[in-house]
Chains A and B, each alone.
Chain A
Amino acid sequence: MKTQEKIEYKATSNACKLCSPLGASFVFRGIERSIPLLHGSQGCSTYIRRYLISHFNEPVDIACSNFTEETAVFGGGANLKLAVENIIKQYNPKLIGIATTCLSETIGEDVPMILKGYNKEKFDENFPEIVSVSTPSFSGTHIDGFHGAVRAVVDSIAVKKKISTKQINIFSGMLSPADLRHLKEIVSDFSTDYAMLPDYSDTLDGPLWMEYQEIPEGGTKIEKIASMGDAAASIEFGRILAEEESAGKLLTDRFQVPCYSLGLPIGVNETDAFFNALSIITGRPVPEKYIQERGRLIDSYADGHKYVFDARAVVYGEEDLVTGLASFLSEVGIIPIICASGGESGLLKQKILDIIPDAENIGIRIIEGADFVEINEEAKKIDPDFFIGNSKGYRIAREMKKPLIRVGFPIHDRLGGARIIHVGYRGAQQLFDIISNTIIATRQDTSPVGYTYM
């Protein structure tokens, strides 16, 4: 007898994910003079702004097409066009990045259609580029919105002029501004030109203003995006992303730009792969500066290895971040005993197994589509040594009286989320120092002796 397929319904409690328009907004904040525009109702853009502002402590303007009841019935075309016009008048942007929302998707809005035949003439040469991406919040998570927006930007702007360049395209993934700065430094140190998308290293982490800035300075230049079709190669981070549609693959398919799909460069192993790729593409050796940096990092691994050995970590966040952190933790002898993500690509388990082949024997729990209540239940079963992830895990860590090491996004309860470096040898150094010292401090504080040395 055929068993009837039964769908099991369950509420999500304290979600370990955000919705896709947030990810797209990130990307559109990282392009020169660009403004994100959410096609939907007012709440989403304000909530997303608030969420980003609490992390970055920077102004984050995100416009909205402000659906009303009539819009929901008769379509949002007029509102969208009005929004575009008002944005142009207020911000004079070079690019408007339109992301849809659950509302506009549900009523079946077709943004490219709406914008077709749009009367650009009345804005003469000041009419900005418009890129749109479909980001219904009922499918995928914020990271899908992020990668989707990157791809949409490349799709509509990149061309091939058949000028061979030495440019390397970098698709970093959802990293911190400090990470982006570090990546740029690394690529520059290979004496090569690059185009990194997005680049919110200045727009979401800038100094106080001498004069008012409608749109903070910085961001990937549109010309740079246009030239991506002529690049020598693309590098794209994310082992999960490697299996999905992406900007890098689009450039390969359309313009034959070779794409290196690598894991997020967190820890020595994954960073080595990144440096190797740079060496191959540029034909240059790894600069001495990084050999030294790597050397110091490994030296500290030696100094600290015993303190962290067999420590058990609960890791959560976006799937690619979790995979990257698991790679780093396991290379220093820490067991990422729970690897959890709100994402549901169906690939997390395999990717963790690729990095830690005996994960299942060690008892590592890999949970896709997790929420924080589930993570909490699992964590209680295993008494971990620490949590590592965004600030939303704080309540569980607090309840279990375990330290939380804050990485990724969002970090709403500490300063400096934008300044955390996760990637490269430098990022691994920071992470390793923080983790070892957290473990050492816990032992010191709970020791009856209270040693004043390690």
Chain B
Amino acid sequence: MTNIPILKERKKQIYHKGEGVFDLTCDTKSLAGSVSQRACVFCGSRVVLYPIADALHLIHGPIGCASYTWDIRGALSSGPELHRMSFSTDLRERDIIFGGEKKLYASLVQLIDTYRPNAAFVYCTCIIGIIGDDVDSVCKRVTEEKGIPVLPVHSEGFKGTKKDGYKAACESLSMLVGTGSVEDIGKYAINIMGEFNIAGEAWTIKEYYENMGIEVVAVFTGDGRVENIKRSHGASLNVVQCSGSILRLAQIMEEKYGIPYIRVSYFGIEDMSKALYDVAAHFKDNLGIMKKTKEIVRNEIDAIYPDLLRYKKALSGKKAAIYVGGAFKAFSMIKALRSLGIDVVLAGSQTGNKDDYAVLRDMCDEGTVILDDANPLELSKYCIEKGADLFVGGVKERPIAYKLGIAFCDHNHERKISLAGYSGMINLAKEVYSSVTSPVWKFAPAKDSFL
């Protein structure tokens, strides 16, 4: 036990499996003063739209929001890299007083002339909602003048949580969908959704599907292109990963174009294979697809299995803490870590909902701590109390792990190593292995013989 205090209001968002009734509070605003690991609405929108590489992303507001999100995600592009630039209207005092519309207009015109993007997104940050700029009309005007879609993203930071930012982004995307030609799209065509091509992961996944005989119309939004998004309503199935971020768009597309969607995950052998089989099963009139799929899965697993066993031997019995953005990722991680012989003792997410946490509870072993919207103190407390050997999370969690002498695996958007697909599973094993078994931990204060 530790004597790290837990705030009374936060106790509702923490559950110890096996103790009491399960009634986790979630989907709420973060508690003031609690030091949430979450960001804001704007962050949610930025995550979803960022990888669209041939679009202009203009952040309307003072400089901070743009500075802190400049090139911080490893969403790769096979062509243009406009998304890696950071554009801001950089509002100043006088703009706050007199309004930022003129500056927004001038910035858009200047940037579109310079960079010739295929579309532009205008992100509204906190104060836009206060000073009352009519961003929609400015966007409309520039759309007409410049002949490219200029789309407002209503992502004022304080108007909800990160999830509302996902929704705002989906709504902007839905304005693009349906505006392109679907003429040459075949029958067995899908959109890959909620895959951001971190470290080239979308390319791996796309290749699997293409090898199965399936056409990929658009990836939302990894290595994204405006043209593909415009014609994405020509696909006959939406394959949705990381459901929280892009589910809204899949729903809109279902309502509007009758395109069904399935939910998948590409992390770990089990979920990866299911993601391929589920798509094959959807196209049941084409038996060739299923046959190919079986072949691919078999070959891929055969290729990595020996290595995987080797890692499993070294890692068996270790204990892991997982804290990620979306709960769906936590499910896959638990399975993937189990396949390496690692038990999960803490699982949490920033944005999970009631259903997610119910699934999580069912998956977890007795004694596992489940956390919604945790803060650094809680994460530290339970890592110590549960004796975690490994922490799977993002940059903000990394120093917590290291300070406590715990290994760390980056599973956030900043990672540079692909963790999706079969090759990704081996990469994950390697990543975990290289931290858990590193000799440096023998100098950690708890074990250091010198101290």
Interface residues of A (CB under 8 A from B): 9-15, 17-19, 21-22, 37, 40-51, 53-54, 56-69, 71-72, 79-80, 82-87, 89-91, 101-103, 106-107, 136-139, 141, 207-210, 212-214, 373, 392, 395
Contact = CB atoms under 8 A, between A and B. Distances in A.
Contacts of B105: 9
A59 B399 contact: yes
A47 B4 contact: no
Q: Is the interface of B mostly helix, strand, loop or mixed?
A: loop
Report which residue of B34, B58, B126, B402 has the largest number of chain A beta carbons within 10 angstroms of its beta carbon: B126
Interface stretch (B60-68, B194-202, B417-425): B60-68
Contact of A210 (B68, B131, B451): B451
Contact of B5 (A44, A90, A395): A90
B61 A102 contact: yes
Given A43-B65, A47-B64, A209-B445, A14 B85 contact: yes
B70 A106 contact: no
Interface in B58-105: 58, 61-72, 84-93, 95-96, 102-103, 105
A213 B445 CA distance: 13
A11 B95 contact: no
B107 interface: yes
A107 B36 contact: no
B35 A62 contact: yes
B16 interface: no
A62 to B, nearest CB: 7
Nearest to A138: B62
A87 B61 contact: no
A299 to B, nearest CB: 37
26 contacts: A9-B103, A11-B87, A11-B106, A11-B111, A15-B63, A15-B90, A18-B68, A21-B64, A22-B64, A53-B399, A59-B400, A59-B403, A62-B35, A65-B32, A67-B126, A80-B32, A90-B7, A90-B34, A101-B126, A107-B130, A137-B64, A208-B402, A208-B444, A210-B445, A212-B2, A212-B384
Given A18-B68, A19-B62, A71-B158, A42 B40 contact: yes
Given A106-B130, A208-B444, A12 B66 contact: yes
Contacts of A373: 85
Contacts of A12: 63, 66, 87-90
Contacts of B33: 37, 63-66, 82-87, 90
A15 B160 CA distance: 27
Report which residue of A13, A54, A91 has the largest number of chain B beta carbons within 10 angstroms of its beta carbon: A13
Given A72-B130, A209-B405, 20 more contacts: A9-B107, A10-B107, A15-B63, A15-B86, A15-B90, A17-B63, A19-B67, A42-B38, A43-B40, A46-B396, A47-B43, A57-B398, A59-B403, A66-B30, A67-B158, A84-B33, A208-B443, A209-B404, A210-B445, A212-B4
B: interface residue count bin = 35 or more
A14 B126 contact: no
B403 to A, nearest CB: 5
A53 B395 CA distance: 7
Given A11-B88, A19-B62, A79 B107 contact: no
Nearest to A56: B399
A414 B41 CA distance: 30
A13 B85 contact: yes
A19 B64 contact: yes
A67 to B, nearest CB: 4
Contacts of A61: 35, 376
Contact of A41 (B106, B126, B403, B443): B126
B64 A102 contact: yes
Interface in B359-404: 375-377, 380-381, 384, 395-396, 398-400, 402-404
B158 A69 contact: yes
A65 B131 CA distance: 21
A48 B62 contact: no
